[in-house]
Structure 1
Amino acid sequence: MENTEAKEGLEKIDNAEVTVDLQVTSNAKNEVIDKWNYLLINGKYKTVEVQNPNFEKGVLNSIKDLRPFNKKGEDEKPITPTVQDALNLKRDIYTSFFRKPFKNFLILTGAGASMDVKGPSMKELWDIANKKYLITDLLDGNTEENGFEIICGKVKHNYTDTNLETLLSKIEGTIHFNDDIEIELDKKKVKLSDIKKELFDIIKNKCSIPCPEEAEKFPHKVLLEKLLQRKVTSPRIKVFTLNYDLLFEYASEKINAIMIDGFSFTFPRTFSGRYFDYDIVQRENSKVQEEDNFIQRVFHLHKLHGSVNWERNGDKTIIKENAVKPLMVYPREAKYEDSYDQPFFEMMARFQRNLRINNDTLLLCIGYSFNDKHINSAIEEALNQNPSFRLAIIDPGFDNKNIATSLQEIKRLALQTERILLVSETFSDFADYFPEIGTYENNDLPTINLRNERTKD
């Protein structure tokens, strides 16, 4: 969506020219600029805006004013809105939106979703790598050598640009066009390919996030548990994630759900796209013998960029605990080429296919920055070609000036069509406030303990 063609394509949704008015006014007397920010956008008549907001880690903690807000006290004087008023208004609108029984419910998660469970941001990965190559004097603690800055200089990357994906792309480009050059770090010569491997190891290790101990603070588990209560006659929930971690696997285990992830049910678990076409049914006790009785708590998981527990075994992809060389699409320009290899190609094909289903399809994006061209292209096509497609984006920073160009365009369109919902909310809060839907089924089974315990006598 970051090119002209993409922009023209998205404008097919609505021919009207739209200018986003940031509603910035100036108080000439005090020279104070009052700025309005959106907390929610869902068409022309469904917006929530706050004046002079203050955010802390994506959470709103103060405002000056709120619109729309017209409550009055007993003396008919306007009441000053609070932060809680703003949050209530926002959540009333999006919970109403998600109470609709969407036929095909798709979820796409990016790095922002994992950050709510102590996953690293790209900036944090840069800082970790920078610290690794920092050489300090053991006596006075002063910096003797900034190895990361030296590496950046050798591959012609601006050290002040803390984009690890761009740096890795330049490292690969240098290796490809200038052979595997050596760089002197701490009086030792190190090959550029070894530095690349070390950076990959940092990403792998930091993305191996342990399962949260407190279930109520585990948003993947909280949201998945609510979604999997829906009727089994509806299509299965399909989760697509760009993250390498095992948080959805842990969440599935916590709620006793069955996860269809494209791997075999025999060991070693081996990948084949045909497993996504399988389902779990109960044949006995059906009302009609020939009728398929689909069981509850089944969902599909597609890991578009690989996983920390995937590994190559000859020409096969298997799931392996503590994989030495995990099969992952690392952040760099070549990741688009990697996505055409199996099993990534199969995952991406499934993503595109599901977005094209013209039967009340919703894509819920959580923590996705809209910086991946191949993902954006698939979403763009769905917006242009699928009239029943709707898009919901949960991102506490969607009204930030530094968002991706493609997200800016989506924001512009959201102000014109209710097909697009933008919500400023953290994943944890969204999972907590996601509505329990009455038409869903919840047949939790009690836990039974049949252990024999010895008596003291």
Structure 2
Amino acid sequence: MRSFKEDEILVLLGAGTSCDAGIKNSNQIITDIENQLKTNEDWKIYAELYNYIKSVYYQKQLHKGSSVYEVNFNIESLVSLLNIIISIKDKKLDIYSFVGSWEKDLQPFITEEKSKHLATNFRERIIKSLRGDWLMPNNWIENSIYFKKLIDFKKEYDGNSLKIFTLNYDKCVEQNLKEEKIECGFDEFDKWNSKRYDYENTQSDYYLYKLHGSIDWKKKKEEQLTQFNGEISPEDLAIIFGISNKLQSYDPYLFYFYEFRIHCIKAELVICSGYGFFDGHINDVIKHGFAENKNKRLVVNVFDDGKNDKEIQKEISDKLLIDVGQIKVFNKRAKDFYTEDLKLETLSNLFPDNDEDLPVGI
């Protein structure tokens, strides 16, 4: 069995890895919103605004050359465009973000935002729902117990710390590793500090990097980021929506993204669970990490009963420009992957017995 050194294994978690805990992924949340807009009187006032935003998003993607079937309109897309409307109203952003002839259709919504705060209220309702049933449903703690399999995996990776990067806002990792030596970036006063990731002078078994923020992160303007378990206003909730906002120029987002890049280069085994490869920034980092190293391996755990492993493997290979022989797909629910396959012995068998490159397609 291949032995792995420090920093040679990296774990990346996407929304699909939490679905078995009853936590909704982005597309499921959009479906729920659309149902609410049709059936719930409190939500119906946002229907016209929602339909406009969705139309704009599709139009922008089609202008970029995507087909209708390739467009992925999700909760991040929705909130990102709501933020743009609010920023235009506040004169913090020009109208250029919306394409061509759509500009004239946008003005009524900006005017309405000034008088009725429709976009602001819609965004607030969405964020409150995120911190409720969408990301913290009943029994999520009991249902997320399969995350404890990370502990068994770490024990096999004896003597080395496990670096876990997540795109999720939920707390499945923190909850299930709370009895372990895990570093989440916050000091004894619940203040975030990058020095917590000083690997030479810290002794943690796990390091967690929440690339897009967390439902318990709070940040007021000019104040330090804090971890907060109580009620957080939508304006102070420190999570990132929208691809255009992913590369924030301040910490912890900039720090975490830089760490992700560095560790992707160092890693020989990258394990992606529940990530659909729709984020260009994340894809670029993975692609760069695999450049010119044919011995690296990418393990992908997704669940798509409409495709077989080879189809998924080929799609990822085309997206990341990684040889198909470097990609291993586990097309199953995350709970099953954690229980059955997240074992160092299983994953070490994906590597060649010597330093020569594997033939293409093996």
Report if TM-score (shorter chain) is over 0.5. yes
Q: Cα deviations across residues 302-339 of structure 1 (Å, max 9, x unaligned)? A: 110111111115431111112414544343243224x3
Q: Is 2:280 the partner of 1:353?
A: no
1:295-444 pair list within 5 angstroms? 298-312=205-219, 314-325=222-233, 327-337=237-247, 339-357=248-266, 361-386=268-293, 388-397=295-304, 400=307, 407=316, 409=318, 413-415=322-324, 417=325, 419-434=326-341
Q: Which residue of 2 aligns with 1:208?
A: 136
Q: Which residue of 1 aligns with 2:185?
A: 262
Change (3 A) 1:435 1:354: closer
Post-superposition offset of 1:346: 0.6
Q: What is the DSSP-based 3-state SS (H/G/I as helix, E as strand, rest coil) of the residue aligned with 1:310? A: strand
Q: What is the DSSP-based 3-state SS (H/G/I as helix, E as strand, rest coil) of the residue aligned with 2:215? A: coil
Matched-pair identity in % = 20
Preserved contact between residue 16 and residue 274 of structure 2 (Cα < 8 Å): yes
Q: Which amino acid aligns with 1:105?
A: I
Q: Which residue of 1 aligns with 2:118?
A: 191
Query: What CA distance in whole angstroms lies between the structure 1 residues aligned with 2:343 and 2:300?
Result: 19
Post-superposition offset of 1:269: 1.8
Q: Which residue of 2 aligns with 1:120?
A: 24
Q: Which amino acid aligns with 2:185?
A: G
> Structure 1 residue runs of 4+, over 6 Å off?
158-161, 401-406
Q: Is 2:77 the partner of 1:166?
A: yes
Query: What CA distance in whole angstroms lies between the structure 2 residues aligned with 1:112 and 1:125?
Result: 13
Q: Cα deviations across residues 50-69 of structure 1 (Å, max 9, x unaligned)? A: xxxxxxxxxxxxxxxxxxxx
1:39-188 pair list within 5 angstroms? 100-103=2-5, 104-134=8-38, 146-155=44-53, 157=55, 163-175=74-86, 176=88, 177=95, 178=107, 180-182=110-112
Query: What CA distance in whole angstroms lies between the structure 2 residues aligned with 1:226 and 1:249?
Result: 16
Q: What is the DSSP-based 3-state SS (H/G/I as helix, E as strand, rest coil) of the residue aligned with 2:12? A: strand
Q: Cα deviations across residues 78-121 of structure 1 (Å, max 9, x unaligned)? A: xxxxxxxxxxxxxxxxxxxxx63333211000000011110102
Query: What CA distance in whole angstroms lies between the structure 1 residues aligned with 2:119 and 2:314?
Result: 32
Preserved contact between residue 313 and residue 327 of structure 2 (Cα < 8 Å): no
Query: What CA distance in whole angstroms lies between the structure 2 residues aligned with 1:349 and 1:319?
Result: 21
| Root mean square deviation, CA, Å | 3.6
Q: Which residue of 2 aligns with 1:25?
A: none
Q: What is the DSSP-based 3-state SS (H/G/I as helix, E as strand, rest coil) of the residue aligned with 1:355? A: helix
Q: Which amino acid aligns with 1:243?
A: N
Q: Which residue of 1 aligns with 2:168?
A: 243
Q: Which residue of 1 aligns with 2:153?
A: 227
Query: What CA distance in whole angstroms lies between the structure 2 residues aligned with 1:330 and 1:229?
Result: 33
Q: Which amino acid aligns with 1:218?
A: I
Q: What is the DSSP-based 3-state SS (H/G/I as helix, E as strand, rest coil) of the residue aligned with 2:254? A: helix
Change (3 A) 1:399 1:252: same
Q: What is the DSSP-based 3-state SS (H/G/I as helix, E as strand, rest coil) of the residue aligned with 2:278? A: coil
Query: What CA distance in whole angstroms lies between the structure 1 residues aligned with 2:43 and 2:206?
Result: 50
Preserved contact between residue 200 and residue 330 of structure 1 (Cα < 8 Å): no
Post-superposition offset of 1:377: 0.8
Q: What is the DSSP-based 3-state SS (H/G/I as helix, E as strand, rest coil) of the residue aligned with 1:382? A: helix
Change (3 A) 1:202 1:362: same
Q: What is the DSSP-based 3-state SS (H/G/I as helix, E as strand, rest coil) of the residue aligned with 1:400? A: coil
Q: What is the DSSP-based 3-state SS (H/G/I as helix, E as strand, rest coil) of the residue aligned with 2:261? A: helix
Query: What CA distance in whole angstroms lies between the structure 1 residues aligned with 2:39 and 2:140?
Result: 34
Query: What CA distance in whole angstroms lies between the structure 2 residues aligned with 1:238 and 1:159?
Result: 35
Post-superposition offset of 1:213: 5.5
Preserved contact between residue 287 and residue 320 of structure 2 (Cα < 8 Å): no
Query: What CA distance in whole angstroms lies between the structure 2 residues aligned with 1:102 and 1:398?
Result: 32
Preserved contact between residue 270 and residue 297 of structure 2 (Cα < 8 Å): yes
Which one has the largest radius of gyration? 1
Post-superposition offset of 1:220: 0.9
Change (3 A) 1:317 1:151: same
* Segment of structure 1 superposing worse, 429-438 or 372-381: 429-438
TM normalised by structure 2 equals: 0.71
TM normalised by structure 1 equals: 0.58
Post-superposition offset of 1:158: 6.9
